[in-house]
Structure 1
């Protein structure tokens, strides 16, 4: 009898110690968690949510366990984004003051993450000791504090810049509707219209061509900035940072650099045609590849927009494959250019092949090697 009483006292003492360490759970919401999925125009959102009661035990706290790479909301207010599995505690009093829930008796607690399940989330209401096991399992998340989320403004800049490009294209369409339709006609890639005497566009330094080259360079610069941000390309990623104003400045500087390089490329092609005595075919050569690049840029912009609006985490993979497709598409266009010139230009095929290699293939392969590594 004495031994039984001693064991009972020991068990009660252990329970009391555990109660002091852990605290008291007054309401467990784990069984009330529900999974939902909402589909939108561009993506679907998967989330786990539950309604929290703020009207009872007003001096209590909530403790939530959330998985890595999830976004947590209190009603429609963003609480925090976590990169690791995290446990966080907040009292009802702090919750009301921080989120402005003064009169609300119930609020929705939501955790957004791709492929999330209710078993990954846990939330309880109760009175918890600060030295309890809850604080020990939290990773990089102090109790009663919000995780500071670094807001990346790059894609705000990207879509604003894209709107600017579309605005310039609309102006170009109003001023030069026939020229724009001629430039962006995919069928002309497989024809020899650029080398015909009936081609109305025969001058590089005309206003319509300069305007189009500026628009094209704005697009190429924007795509290049996305590529540097997502792929890295050495230490260049450090330059694609900052607020929207800084990114616009970088964009314009890169565009100016590309415009200078475009003029240098045209002058280089003109020089090579003089060396090989190909006549006045430098503009037809340049304009044919300009059309190819412009059409490829349109597809790249569409791909980036779809990926950015759906899953930004896959943009790096998408851009890697896009870069490979662009590489082979440009090489194919150079081969088509050579065959077109063989039929249109009365010139020795061997010397024509040497001209294409010198003017296009060798510089392009060197640049591709530098970019792709």
Structure 2
């Protein structure tokens, strides 16, 4: 049946619904692309630490180095492979323990290097709840679940006379395994990964909860016996590995000491973190952001046109029934129509035509952007 006067036609409802859906899709597309490009992954500190302790009753005259290295540069994965290396140089044999806490503990711990595991504990002895009394600061440290490796260096090499402190060289022991949490973090949205990443490494050099300058003594309460202290001459290093040419360092805390990349070497305990950007991935997302911006502008224009048309629509008015017009009235009415001009001209471009034109413009812009990107890549 033909539609009655004052009623909206069904196809107009469908057209309005389609326009609203397309405009909403352009807004969502722009929002998602912007969010992925600008997203910053978490920089919360790594919940783990690693330190070297030495018995208080032994001379602390050797220089000790503690190094953290990933199996793969950047330590990717939810459980990255790590290597903790203890390097000793000096004049006397060295006996000590490597204490690993929190998520820095290693699964399937393996030991290698020129050292022998102490007779009291096997490699990777797990302690459910390690508690020590910090005599220097007068407090008790509840270190929770920890891993302790007891090792001995029967002989060590003299330290190289470098300034200002001896370099990390000499007899080394290495302990490898997989960590309990991720170090490299990404922000993901479905199948897409943001071009920016962060790295959060274990605290190196000090027990959990103790300040960097706290050398002890640490007296064992549960899980450890005896009195222990940190060697007074220590050097700590975190080797991130070689970064790719497409990776840039946005920020590092503390400041990176590696001049050509990312890495730290210091004489006091620290916990490093960094923000990085994959410039290659960022370059691939930039044309998508341009297309999303164009679509957003076109979608906003189409929506504004549709809202204007809705505002001009008049509600249906019920006309009261009247007697049918007589023949003279019909003649006068026809003559009036013949000399009458339309009050409103038809719009030059309807919303449906505007949508088609917008799509054509977007397609042309996308082709141009892709061509320019290919030329730049050459």
Report the TM-score range of the alignment, normalised by the length of the smaller protein: under 0.3
* More relative contact order, 1 or 2 (CA 8 Å, 6+ apart): 2
* TM-score using structure 1 length: 0.24
The structure with more strand, counted as a fraction of residues: 2
